[in-house]
Amino acid sequence: MAPWEGAAGLPAALFLLHVPGCLALWGPSNVTGTEGGSLSVQCHYEEEFKALNKYWCRRPLFLLCDKTVETKESESEVKSGHVSIRDHPANLTFTVTVENLTKDDGGQYWCGVNMPLLSGQKGFQPDPVVEILVIVNPAPNGPRSTEEEPPTTNPYPRSLLSSVHFLLLVFLEVPLLLGMLSAVLWVNRPQRGS
């Protein structure tokens, strides 16, 4: 058996090793509210993140985010403007509530867990995040009803394409692995006689 014959399954095997980490945090893929109303988003996390700060941020460009609100160690609920966040460590969830919705509140957001840089972990570990699309519908014409409709949510987690771990795998780790594999195959290629 040639050295490269078993190598074809290597990227797939490495991919499968990363998939469980993509579900360290999960929530709905989108939530919908109405202008003037409110909406709540519930994000779930793993036990290992229980003591860490959680945040809600608007996702601008490439893997950066402007934190709108973040929990603090001593406080389970924090409010910033018309957005609040509450951590529920007993059931491993946190809830973000946006009140008095405006059209400007619509867009892509992240639920995230703040991974401290000096957490004793080996190497850099990006914050686990889940991307959520906030849709704000216009208020209906006429007098506003006193009874608000509950926001609709999608109970299924986001696809892997929205996961930072998956993006790092695809754009950094897989090309690096393929480059190393190519170098090994080049060095071990059969030499032709002169």
| Residue 154 belongs to a domain | yes
Beta strands in the chain (DSSP E): 25-26, 30-34, 39-45, 54-58, 66-70, 77-80, 83-88, 93-98, 107-113, 129-137, 152-153
Asked if the structure places residue 186 within a domain, the reply is no
pLDDT score of 113 more than 70: yes
**pLDDT exceeds 50 at position 177:** yes
pLDDT attached to residue 103: 94
What pLDDT, on the 0 to 100 scale, is given for residue 7? 46
12 assigned to some structural domain: no
Segment 173-185 mean pLDDT: 80
In this structure, is residue 137 part of a structural domain? yes
Output the pLDDT for position 3.
Answer: 46
CA distance 168 to 174: 9
In a domain, 167, yes or no: yes
Q: 159 lies in which domain range?
A: 22-181
Asked if residue 109 belongs to a domain, the reply is: yes
- The Cα–Cα gap between 129 and 188 comes to 41
Q: Are β-strands 93-98 and 39-45 bridged in parallel, bridged antiparallel, or unpaired? A: antiparallel
| 191 inside domain | no
- How many domains does one find in the chain? 1
Decide if pLDDT at 151 tops 90. no
CATH of the domain at 150: 2.60.40.10
